[in-house]
């Protein structure tokens, strides 16, 4: 990997010439940074079982899920084929900036908990605490929510009591979570391969149907872009209504892309993380964006934005625009295949939420922000106390068996619905602070293990866009006749919760925003010099073709 090789060479050069001096970098005595780097606990107790191919496919598995297979229809309804395409393209560019920002900071600080611990190192300990518990709490509820969704998906085929599926998926999710980290990586790897192959199949099938390749089905082309049109007016009329339709699609797109930021949560359990994570971040953006953009384009060609069949809210394959188009073309078997793939997607998401929640909690314990009991690990390197605690919350899925309890449960889930945007904002803020600190301390950017010059511009733009989308994502509830308490909660309540936790910890611990000159970058670069990673060999021949998705 040329970036790592060049950075190591630059590090050696500057160490030899002593261009980086104590005058330009703070000494370790000036800053309390215990646990800012990979700790003894992580090196001793965790196992580096994840490889770069696992990371790339884990992020792909998390991003290609219900949002892609089931949710595109509602986006076409809201914004029209072109409005939906532009909405997903906009969020795709933002995700690109987030992934590159995450990769650059993680290459310097490959720690368990990822951007949560980066926030403490680069911004404020109180921010790391607030974001950390927001992620932990969100993932505690995310797993039972996914299991509840799985029960609904099984109802498409059978009327067996949902409690059977709840118990079964709690058990298998716990087994994956408590097993050796490589087993988790392999499970997610093959789930992702399955989903990628299937979405490629659906895109090709959609094009065949659209272009008249099925006997008896007329060629459509871009017919629905002309009638009823490329945009849908949303709330307002005219150009404003079309713009609001495009803007509303972006909230759905954020949900679809959420999960890609958790790619570095298990950095201390990854082999050669300074190379593997940046490479995975770069690859994931292009793969996910291509799949989503092509899928949105094809769906907009297959189904009209005013098609009543898109109103199906069953939560099963029946609402998928791919299923609607395939059924109309006389291929009803597609529905069951989509339903099966979505079940694997939901289970994959629950596995990913278990990993993210437990590793962030472990990282908080390393920093003394959670009880030390959460540092206990199995002999094969899994934080078993963290896993057991999160498993206990999985039993909230039984609330799905009662209508009243299910309403309460989803109110809790709504509290963290905007968590993805808050996480993206944190990632971008961390990266912006790193760049500012490097400039303040007169450290050349070439010393970073991985850096792209254009991120100096993409990060602030993406940060502005994320904040703007966060505060406007629920704009519809403020318009006449559209007030929804649940909609307001899901769009905004997580914001004051995070702010409240931040202020409480800041006042209680009397933390301060770390001055740019005091961020201990010297120790970070010394850590790289003390623990250089061997340069990964590049796959050649047939291996490079087989690994095109992740390498």
Q: Please tell me the predicted confidence (pLDDT) of residue 6.
A: 56
Q: Please tell me the predicted confidence (pLDDT) of residue 35.
A: 59
Do 30 and 218 touch, CB atoms closer than 8 A?
Answer: no
Range 220-235 average pLDDT = 92
Q: Please tell me the predicted confidence (pLDDT) of residue 3.
A: 53
> By CB neighbour count within 10 A (0-12 exposed, 13-18 middle, 19+ buried), where does 457 fall?
exposed
pLDDT at 249 over 70: yes
Q: Please tell me the predicted confidence (pLDDT) of residue 375.
A: 93
Do 471 and 396 touch, CB atoms closer than 8 A?
Answer: no
pLDDT at 469 over 50: yes
Could you report the per-residue pLDDT of 165-221, keeping only the tens digit for each? 999 999 999 999 999 899 988 988 888 888 888 888 989 999 999 998 888 888 989
Could you report the per-residue pLDDT of 450-463, keeping only the tens digit for each? 999 999 999 999 99
Confidence of residue 15 (pLDDT cuts 50, 70, 90): very low
Confidence of residue 536 (pLDDT cuts 50, 70, 90): low
Confidence of residue 473 (pLDDT cuts 50, 70, 90): confident
- Omega into 476 within 30° of 0, i.e. cis? no
Ordered by start, the domain boundaries in the chain are 48-522
Q: Which residues in 204-235 are b (16+ Cβ under 10 Å) and which e?
A: ebbeebbeeebeebeebeeebbeeebbbbbbb
Helix, coil or strand: residue 408: helix
Could you report the per-residue pLDDT of 392-407, keeping only the tens digit for each? 999 988 887 877 776 7
Q: Please tell me the predicted confidence (pLDDT) of residue 269.
A: 84
The correct CATH number of 48-522 out of 2.130.10.10, 1.10.3720.10, 1.10.390.10, 1.20.1740.10 is: 1.20.1740.10
Q: CB within 8 A of 336, min separation 6: which ones? A: 156, 157, 317
pLDDT at 18 over 50: no
Range 279-292 average pLDDT = 77
pLDDT at 104 over 90: yes
For residues 527 and 293, give the distance between their C-alpha atoms in angstroms, rounded to a whole number: 40
Q: Please tell me the predicted confidence (pLDDT) of residue 28.
A: 35
- Angstrom CA distances, 243 to 85, 87, 305, 491, stand at 13, 10, 16, 19
Confidence of residue 339 (pLDDT cuts 50, 70, 90): confident
């Amino acid at each position: 990997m040329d970036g790592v090789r060049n950075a190591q060479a630059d590090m050696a050069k500057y160490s030899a010439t002593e261009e980086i001096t104590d005058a330009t970098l703070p000494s370790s005595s000036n800053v309390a940074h215990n646990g800012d780097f990979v700790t003894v606990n992580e090196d001793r107790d965790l196992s580096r079982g994840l490889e770069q191919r696992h990371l790339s496919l884990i992020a792909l598995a998390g991003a290609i899920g219900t949002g892609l297979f089931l949710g595109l229809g509602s986006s076409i309804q809201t914004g029209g084929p072109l409005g939906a395409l532009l909405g997903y393209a906009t969020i795709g560019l933002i995700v690109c900036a987030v992934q590159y920002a995450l990769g650059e900071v993680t290459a310097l600080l490959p720690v368990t908990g990822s951007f949560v611990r980066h926030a403490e190192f680069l911004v404020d300990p109180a921010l790391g605490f607030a974001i950390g518990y927001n992620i932990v709490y969100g993932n505690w509820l995310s797993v039972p929510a996914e299991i509840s969704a799985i029960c609904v998906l099984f109802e498409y085929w059978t009327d067996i009591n949902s409690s059977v599926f709840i118990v079964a998926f709690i058990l298998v999710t716990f087994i994956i979570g408590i097993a050796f980290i490589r087993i988790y990586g392999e499970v997610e790897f093959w789930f992702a391969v399955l989903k990628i192959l299937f979405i490629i199949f659906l895109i090709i099938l959609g094009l065949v149907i659209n272009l008249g390749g099925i006997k008896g089905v007329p060629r459509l082309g871009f017919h629905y872009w002309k009638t009823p049109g490329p945009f849908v007016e949303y709330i307002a009329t005219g150009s404003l209504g079309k713009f609001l339709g495009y803007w509303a699609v972006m909230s759905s797109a954020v949900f679809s892309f959420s999960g890609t930021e958790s790619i570095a949560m298990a950095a201390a359990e990854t082999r050669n993380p300074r190379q593997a994570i940046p490479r995975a971040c770069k690859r994931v953006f292009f793969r996910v964006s291509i799949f989503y953009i092509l899928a949105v384009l094809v769906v907009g060609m297959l189904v009209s934005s005013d098609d009543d069949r898109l109103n199906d809210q069953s939560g099963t394959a029946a609402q998928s625009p791919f299923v609607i188009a395939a059924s109309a073309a006389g291929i009803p078997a597609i529905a069951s295949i989509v339903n099966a793939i979505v079940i694997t997607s939901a289970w994959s998401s629950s596995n990913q939420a278990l990993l993210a929640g437990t590793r962030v909690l472990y990282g908080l314990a390393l920093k003394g922000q959670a009880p030390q009991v959460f540092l206990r690990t199995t002999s094969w390197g899994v934080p078993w106390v963290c896993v057991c605690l999160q498993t206990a919350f999985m039993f909230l899925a039984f609330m799905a068996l009662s209508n009243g309890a299910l309403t309460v449960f989803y109110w809790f889930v709504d509290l963290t619905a905007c968590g993805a945007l808050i996480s993206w904002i944190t990632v971008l803020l961390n990266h912006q602070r790193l760049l500012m600190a490097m400039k303040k301390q007169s450290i050349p950017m070439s010393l970073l293990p991985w850096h792209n010059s254009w991120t100096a511009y993409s990060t602030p733009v993406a940060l502005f866009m994320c904040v703007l989308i966060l505060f406007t994502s629920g704009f519809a509830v403020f318009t006449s006749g559209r007030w929804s308490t649940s909609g307001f909660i899901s769009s905004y309540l997580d914001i004051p919760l995070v702010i409240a936790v931040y202020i409480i910890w800041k006042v209680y611990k009397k933390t301060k925003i770390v001055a740019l000159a005091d961020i201990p970058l010297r120790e970070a670069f010394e850590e790289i010099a003390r623990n250089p990673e061997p340069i990964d060999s590049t796959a050649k021949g047939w291996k490079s073709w087989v690994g095109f998705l992740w390498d």
